[in-house]
Amino acid sequence: MADVRVSTLDNKRETSDLEEAEVAELLENLHSMSPVQASMCWKKARLNWLQEGDSNTKFFYGVMSSKRRCNTLQSIQVNDVQVEGV
């Protein structure tokens, strides 16, 4: 129903100017459709990711494991005392 009204207003705009109420109606339709469209795009992207997987997952976890190993403290020296372990 709203699509038909928007189409009608679009056709009217080609021949004459729209009234303020008609412009307000179009803006309201635009704003109300925006979250719906964003939600649909997010769901499509999520579905695509679930179906195809992520080709960078193995690489990502490899890099994170490497960083974790590099950031691990094996020992620390405090006041000339070497502390090892937890």
Instruction: Give me the pLDDT at residue 67, please.
Output: 87
Instruction: Give me the pLDDT at residue 4, please.
Output: 67
Task: Please state the domain count of the chain.
Answer: 1
Residue 57 Cα distances to 49, 53, 82, angstroms = 11, 8, 38
pLDDT (tens place) for every residue of the chain, 86 residues total: 556 666 776 666 667 777 778 777 777 776 666 677 778 877 888 887 777 766 677 787 888 888 888 887 778 888 888 888 76
Mapped to the 3 state alphabet, what secondary structure does the chain carry?
CHHHHHHHHHHHHHHCCCCHHHHHHHHHHHHHHHHHHHHHHHHHHHHHHHHHCCCCHHHHHHHHHHHHHHHCCCEEEECCEEEECC
Range of the domain at 18: 2-84
Give the predicted TM-score (pTM) of the model. Answer: 0.32
DSSP-derived letter for residue 18 is: P
Instruction: Give me the pLDDT at residue 23, please.
Output: 76
